[in-house]
Amino acid sequence: MFNKGIKLNETRFCFFIENLFSPNIISGFSKSSLPGELPGDFNKLISYIGKKNSFSYMDQKHSAGLALAQKPGLYDADGLFTKDKNHFLVVKTADCLPLLLANGDGLAGVIHMGWRSAKKGILKNISFDLTDFKVVAGLGLRSCCYQVGAEFREFSELSSYLRTTPKGVFFEPVRFARDKLIAQGLKKDNFFDLSLCSYCSGGDFFSYRRDKTSKRNLSFIGLR
Ligand SMILES: [Zn+2]
């Protein structure tokens, strides 16, 4: 079900990613035992990561905007970074791709990457040197289920990341993210994929396309 190299620790509300980032990074994603309501659900995650932690999240308007979170709260962005310890970043998704990023230098980030943000260039807006970063593609719609309209062939930013089959045209968000981040300096071996499709993995997760749900999966990362 998951990328074979990634160890996950399952708890009642979430999975923690155990062995991918350096030990000072805590990251993971929620299960359907949390409906994904913020800020309330963070208090349930806190029961596992410690009460002294605070968090920031985003209004996620499918923009290409990134922000540096310097105090806890809600940001007008689709990507957030922080340098602060015990300050978690949370992204809500139910098919869009969450990216979790961190380097060994005390910088962590989350990105909400749907096709609109991808097309608008959200990954190009990352101004940090990615050489020492690791990135994981989290729980989201993958090319198996990401059917899009034929008009996507006209979107030059995305057109190299479409798979055409007898059933239709499918977007490949993970390959898109990987290529774009490597082009910006990320080392090939430092891109990881949970290989977990929100629609068809059959897991304990939400998919808007499958269920038209308003509930959301939460993906999070923080420094301790
Ligand atoms: Zn799928």
- Residue 2 is assigned to a structural domain of this protein: no
How far is ligand 1, taken at its centre, from the CA of residue 198, in Å?
Answer: 7
On the question of pLDDT at 140 being above 50, the answer is yes
**34-44 burial by CB neighbour count: b if 16+ within 10 A, else e?**
bebebeebbee
How far is ligand 1, taken at its centre, from the CA of residue 7, in Å?
Answer: 21
- Residue 44 is assigned to a structural domain of this protein: yes
How far is ligand 1, taken at its centre, from the CA of residue 5, in Å?
Answer: 20
Write out pLDDT tens, residues 65-102.
999 999 999 999 999 999 999 999 999 999 999 999 99
How far is ligand 1, taken at its centre, from the CA of residue 16, in Å?
Answer: 22
Q: Is the peptide bond before 98 cis (omega within 30 degrees of 0)?
A: no
Question: What span, in angstroms and rounded, lies between the C-alpha atoms of 156 and 145?
Answer: 21
When divided into structural domains, the chain yields a total of: 1
Question: What local confidence, expressed as pLDDT, does residue 78 receive?
Answer: 98
Q: Residue 142: which domain range?
A: 8-223
How far is ligand 1, taken at its centre, from the CA of residue 174, in Å?
Answer: 12
How far is ligand 1, taken at its centre, from the CA of residue 151, in Å?
Answer: 21
- Angle value at C-alpha 76, between 72 and 80, nearest 5 degrees: 60
Question: What local confidence, expressed as pLDDT, does residue 69 receive?
Answer: 97
- Residue 185 is assigned to a structural domain of this protein: yes
On the question of pLDDT at 1 being above 60, the answer is no
Looking up residue 125, the CATH number of its domain turns out to be 3.60.140.10
- Residue 67 is assigned to a structural domain of this protein: yes
- Residue 80 is assigned to a structural domain of this protein: yes
- Residue 1 is assigned to a structural domain of this protein: no
Read off the pLDDT of each residue in 14-24 and give the average, rounded to a whole number: 94
Write out pLDDT tens, residues 24-73.
999 999 999 999 999 899 988 888 888 889 999 999 999 999 999 999 99
How far is ligand 1, taken at its centre, from the CA of residue 95, in Å?
Answer: 10
On the question of pLDDT at 4 being above 70, the answer is no
- Residue 3 is assigned to a structural domain of this protein: no
% of the chain at pLDDT higher than 70: 98
